[in-house]
Structure 1
Amino acid sequence: MDTVADTEQAPADNSGPAENIDWGLAATIGKRVARPGPRVTRYTWERANAELLDAAVRAEGPVREVTGLADGLAVPTAQILDRSGWIDAASRSMPAMLAPVPSADEAENASDDHRSGHGISGKIAGVQAGGLLAFMSSAILGQYDPFSVDPQTGQEGVLMLVAPNIIAVERALRADPSDFRLWVCLHEVTHRVQFSANPWLADYMRSNVASLTGTDDDSVADLVGRVTESLRSGKQREKGVIGLMQLVQSPEQFESFERVLALGTLLEGHADHVMDAVGPAHVPSVESIRAAFDQRRKGPKNPLQRLIRALIGMDAKMAQYVRGKAFVDHVVERVGMEQFNTIWTSPETMPLMAEIDQPDAWIERVL
C-alpha cells in the first residue's frame, strides 16, 4: 500500500507505513464501497457457515498427516466472515504486519490503538487503503492471518473464511458446495499449519515487509511516477507480471522484496501441493473442481480489473501458486516430505528466488 509522508510535525524516527494510515477510516470506506455478496437465503447462509466450520476442523488431520507438521497442537476454530467482517479484520491486521518487529520494551509500552494515522495525510492514505480493502474483500476466499489475535482464545493467528465469496465461486464453477468448501479449507488450513508449526515465520515475514514498505528518500509522487512509467513502457519483472512491490528500487528494499516473494511462493505452492495430495481421498469431485478453478484463474478480466490486479500484485500471487507448487512437487518427489521439511528450519533454509525455478539448486545448497 502507498506510504504517505506526514505533513504535520509527527515523530519521524520509528514511524512506518502503518502509522501513516488511518485504518479506522480505511475500514469505514472499505465497507461502504465494497460490493454486496451473492443473494442467499438464511438457510443457505447458516448451512454454509456450519459446513465451513466443520470443514476447517476436518481438514486439519489430513493436512498434518501429509505435511508432517503441527502434530499434537490444538486445532483452533475458524472465523466465518462476510465481506465487511473481513475488511474489519484486515484493517486490524495490516498495522501489525506493516509495523517493525518491536523490542520487548516497545511491546510492553505500546499503545493498544494502531488504527489512527497522523493528520490529513493519514486520512488520505486511509481512503486509498479503504478502496483496496473493498476490492480485495470480494476476491479473498480464505486467509490465515498470523498477525491477528483470536478473540476467543487470545492466541495470535486466525483462520478466516469469507463465506459469500466461497458461495459465489462455487456457484460460478457449478461445484458441489460441500466438496468445494472442504477443498478451500485444505489450502487455508495448510497455511495455519505452516505458521503454527514454525512460529518464527510470522516475525520473518513482518520484518521483511516492514523493510520493504519502509520509506527512505522516496515520496509517494516518486513511487506513483515509477508505477506509471512502468505501466506505460511495459517494464516487467518476474515473468511479465507487474506488481507495485516489484517497482522498489533500493538494494535493501529489493532484497526484502525477493525474500517476501520467495516466502509467499513457497507458502502458496506448498498449500497447493498439499491440497492436491489430500484432495483425491477426501474430496470426491476434486478433479473437476481443480480444472474449473484453474480455468477461472486464467479467465479474462476487464481492463480496470487488470490494472488493479497489476498494481496490487494479484497476478503475481497467481503465478506464485504455479511456480511454488512446481518447486514443492519436485523437491518432495526427489527427497520426500520429511527432508523437504528442512525448509522450515530457519531463514537460511528458505529458498532463494532463483531457486524457486531451479529446485535442484536448493536441494544442493540446503540438503
Structure 2
Amino acid sequence: MAQFVDWDLAAATAGTLGKTGPRVSYVEATAVVGDLRQLTDEAAEHVADFTGLRSQVSHPPVQVVDRRDWAATNVAGLREVIGPLVGRLAGDKQPSVLTEAIGSRITGVQAGTVLAYLSGRVLGQYEVFSGEPGQLLLIAPNIVEVERKLAADPRDFRLWVCLHEVTHRTQFTAVPWLRAYFLGEVQAFVDASSSGGEPLVERLRRGITVLADAVREPAGRTSVLDIVQTPAQKAVLDRLTALMTLLEGHAEFVMDGVGPQVIPSVERIRASFNRRRESGNPLEKALRRLLGVEVKLRQYAEGRSFVHGVVERVGMEGFNRVFASPLTLPRLAELSDPDAWVARVHGPAGPLPAGD
C-alpha cells in the first residue's frame, strides 16, 4: 500500500521545530517527574470519589514526558491507526513512485509542523491510538512553563492539571467500550471521505485558499475539518464532536468540583488560566482555530454546561447513565439542551437528584 505520510519525517520535524523547554536543573526535573506521578495517584482517588466511576480494566502508569517524546508518541499512534486508513482517501488509484516520495514527505513535514506547535501547548493527554486501553501522558516542560507564567503554586497547579487528565483516563478505563467506539467513528469518518463526489485533491486546493483567507480574517470560525469534510463525513463529525465535547466538559466539571476541596489556590489558578486561554496574537489565534484548538476551547465551556445541567437535574449517578452505551451518549443538539437528554434517557419526568 502506498505511504501517504512519511511518519519518520513527521517525528523528526516535530522534534526539530518544537519549542525548547524552560530552564530547570536535573534535580528540579527529577522532582517534577516524581511530583506529577504522585499527584496522578492522588487525583485518581479524588476523581473516583467525586464521579463514582472506577477503572474496570488495568492501565499502564502515567508517562511524564518532554515535548519531543509527546510528539513521537502521537506519531506512533497516528501511524498505527490513522496510517492504514489514509490510504483509502486515494481509492484504488495508486500514485507514481515520484509522486508518492514527494507527497509523503510534504505531508510528513506538515504533520510534524502541526505536532511541533501543539507540543508546546498541551499540558496532558490521554492517548488512545497506540494501544488498549490508552496511555496517560503529562508534558512536564509545558506544565512547569505555564505554572511559572501564571505564578501559580506548583503543587496546586500540578494537581489541578492531573485532575483534568486523570478524568479522561477514568472515562476510557471505567467505560471499556468507549475506546473502540471512538476508533470506530474515526474509521467511519475516513470511510466517508470518498462519498462526497469532489476529489480530495480539489478539497485540499480549496482548503489552501480558505487557510490564506483565515489568516487575513482571524475572526472567522473555519477549521481544517470544515475544509476537507464531505457531507457524509459531517454526520460522523457531529457524533465525534458531541462525544469530545462531553468528555472535555466532564473533565472540566470534575476539576472544578474537586478543586475547591483539595487545592487552596484553585480560584486564582482557574481565573489566570482562563485569561491565558483567551490570549494570543491574531496570527496565533488563526492557527489555533485552523488546527481545531479553538473548537476544543469551546467544547470545554459547552460540555461543562451540559454536564452541570444534567447533574443538577438527575444527580451524578443519573448523569453516569451517559456512559451506559453509545445510545445514551448525548446528541449534538442535546449539548445545549440537557432537558432533552434527560427526557430521552431517563424518561419525561426523570429521577430527582439524591436527597430531594
Aligned equivalents of 1:71, 1:305: Cα separation in 2: 38
SS at match of 1:156: coil
C-alpha deviation, 1:74, in angstroms: 4.7
Alignment match of 2:297 (pick from 282, 294, 318): 318
Matches within 5 A, 1:218-257: 218-226=199-207, 228-229=209-210, 232=213, 241-257=221-237
Aligned equivalents of 2:13, 2:220: Cα separation in 1: 32
Aligned equivalents of 1:99, 1:123: Cα separation in 2: 14
Aligned equivalents of 2:9, 2:31: Cα separation in 1: 33
Alignment match of 2:51 (pick from 57, 64, 67): 67
Q: Which amino acid aligns with 2:256?
A: D
Whether 1:352 aligns to 2:347 is: no
The answer (yes or no) to whether the contact 1:83–1:164 under 8 Å persists in 2 is yes
Alignment match of 1:88 (pick from 52, 61, 72): 72
C-alpha deviation, 1:43, in angstroms: 2.0
TM-score (norm 1): 0.83
Matches within 5 A, 1:26-65: 26-65=10-49
Sort the Cα spacing of 1:319 and 1:231 in 2 relative to 1 into closer, same or farther, 3 A: farther
Matches within 5 A, 1:169-180: 169-180=146-157
The answer (yes or no) to whether the contact 1:100–1:206 under 8 Å persists in 2 is no
Aligned length: 327
Which string of whole-angstrom CA distances, capped at 9 and with x for unpartnered residues, describes residues 240-266 of structure 1? 632211334533200111111111100
C-alpha deviation, 1:354, in angstroms: 0.9
Sort the Cα spacing of 1:220 and 1:309 in 2 relative to 1 into closer, same or farther, 3 A: farther
Sort the Cα spacing of 1:126 and 1:99 in 2 relative to 1 into closer, same or farther, 3 A: closer
Aligned equivalents of 1:127, 1:99: Cα separation in 2: 15
2:255 match = 275
The answer (yes or no) to whether the contact 1:57–1:75 under 8 Å persists in 2 is no
Aligned equivalents of 1:90, 1:81: Cα separation in 2: 12
1:113 match = none
2:88 match = none
Aligned equivalents of 1:141, 1:158: Cα separation in 2: 14
Alignment match of 2:274 (pick from 277, 291, 294): 294
Sort the Cα spacing of 1:218 and 1:211 in 2 relative to 1 into closer, same or farther, 3 A: farther
C-alpha deviation, 1:72, in angstroms: 6.5
The answer (yes or no) to whether the contact 1:26–1:130 under 8 Å persists in 2 is yes
SS at match of 2:134: strand
C-alpha deviation, 1:66, in angstroms: 1.1
The answer (yes or no) to whether the contact 1:59–1:189 under 8 Å persists in 2 is yes
The answer (yes or no) to whether the contact 1:34–1:134 under 8 Å persists in 2 is yes
Q: Which amino acid aligns with 2:118?
A: M
Matches within 5 A, 1:134-149: 134-149=116-131
Aligned equivalents of 2:82, 2:24: Cα separation in 1: 36
1:20 match = 4
Aligned equivalents of 2:239, 2:84: Cα separation in 1: 16
2:102 match = 120
C-alpha deviation, 1:95, in angstroms: 2.7
Whether 1:309 aligns to 2:288 is: yes
* Identity over aligned pairs, percent: 43
Q: Which amino acid aligns with 2:184?
A: S
The answer (yes or no) to whether the contact 2:55–2:173 under 8 Å persists in 1 is no
The answer (yes or no) to whether the contact 2:57–2:176 under 8 Å persists in 1 is no
TM-score (norm 2): 0.85
The answer (yes or no) to whether the contact 2:165–2:251 under 8 Å persists in 1 is yes
Q: Which amino acid aligns with 1:180?
A: F
The answer (yes or no) to whether the contact 1:180–1:289 under 8 Å persists in 2 is yes
Which string of whole-angstrom CA distances, capped at 9 and with x for unpartnered residues, describes residues 105-129 of structure 1? xxxxxxxxxxxx9533222211110
SS at match of 2:61: coil
C-alpha deviation, 1:232, in angstroms: 3.3
C-alpha deviation, 1:99, in angstroms: 5.7
Aligned equivalents of 1:119, 1:199: Cα separation in 2: 39
Aligned equivalents of 1:227, 1:345: Cα separation in 2: 42
Going by fraction, where is helix more abundant, 1 or 2?
Answer: 2
C-alpha deviation, 1:307, in angstroms: 2.2
The answer (yes or no) to whether the contact 1:147–1:157 under 8 Å persists in 2 is yes
C-alpha deviation, 1:280, in angstroms: 1.2
The answer (yes or no) to whether the contact 1:99–1:210 under 8 Å persists in 2 is no
Aligned equivalents of 1:208, 1:227: Cα separation in 2: 26
SS at match of 2:128: strand
Q: Which runs of 4+ in 1 moved over 6 A?
A: none
1:107 match = none
C-alpha deviation, 1:223, in angstroms: 2.7
